[in-house]
Amino acid sequence: MDQVDRKIIAALRENGRATYADLGRSVGLSASSVHERVGKLEAAGVITGYHAMVDPSTVGLGVTALVGIHPTDTATEDDVAAALGALDEVESCYAVAGDEAFVVKVRVATVDDLERTLGRLRRIPGVGRTNTTVVLSTRFEGRPNNAGLEDGRNGNA
């Protein structure tokens, strides 16, 4: 992956609906060259998909919480992760270092729904306890990290 590929990725992270012609203008290539490069990036697994970004509160998901999952001594992480993935309310799941095995992002409509979801989480075999932080507001989320784009670094200073 070269600097032009990195610029294409950055442009797509800013606007996943950009046309090949728009991308070409931004990186100095023809639309067909950009199309070929994007296809290679997709085939290599660099670009894994395209999706619409939706404001959760506008679709009735006004409560966000980060929930730390503390496993039992007999828990298998794969089984717990699979059970977490089966819950529609769990938007993201991160395996983390520390006392918690996972931190999940949960989105629900109301605090009552959050309480029910926490009950469901605690009943998953292998979950010993949870630690919940309710999000009061989101300052930013899902922003593209294009660190090192201009100088070719991988984002490390």
**CATH classification at residue 12:** 1.10.10.10
Higher pLDDT, 152 or 127: 127
Does 145 reside within a domain?
A: no
What pLDDT does residue 154 have? 52
pLDDT band at 9 (very low <50, low <70, confident <90, very high): very high
Residues 39 and 89 in one domain: no
Does 36 reside within a domain?
A: yes
Residues 71 and 104 in one domain: yes
Integer Cα distance of 102 and 53 in angstroms: 24
Does 82 reside within a domain?
A: yes
Range of the domain at 40: 3-44
Integer Cα distance of 151 and 157 in angstroms: 11
What pLDDT does residue 48 have? 94
How many domains does the chain contain in total?
2
What pLDDT does residue 152 have? 55
Q: Is the pLDDT of residue 138 over 80?
A: yes
**Structure token digits, residue 150:** 């201009």
What pLDDT does residue 149 have? 67
The string of pLDDT tens digits covering residues 24-61 is 999 999 999 999 999 999 999 999 999 888 899 999 99
User: CA torsion, points 19, 21, 27, 30, in degrees to nearest 10?
Assistant: 140
Q: What is the pTM of this model?
A: 0.81
The string of pLDDT tens digits covering residues 96-124 is 999 899 999 999 999 999 999 999 999 99
Mean pLDDT of the residues in the chain: 92
Residues 91 and 126 in one domain: yes
pLDDT band at 157 (very low <50, low <70, confident <90, very high): very low
Higher pLDDT, 52 or 130: 130
Q: Is the pLDDT of residue 151 over 80?
A: no
Residues 37 and 69 in one domain: no
Does 11 reside within a domain?
A: yes
Residues 23 and 70 in one domain: no
**Cα 101-119-82 angle, rounded to 5 deg:** 45
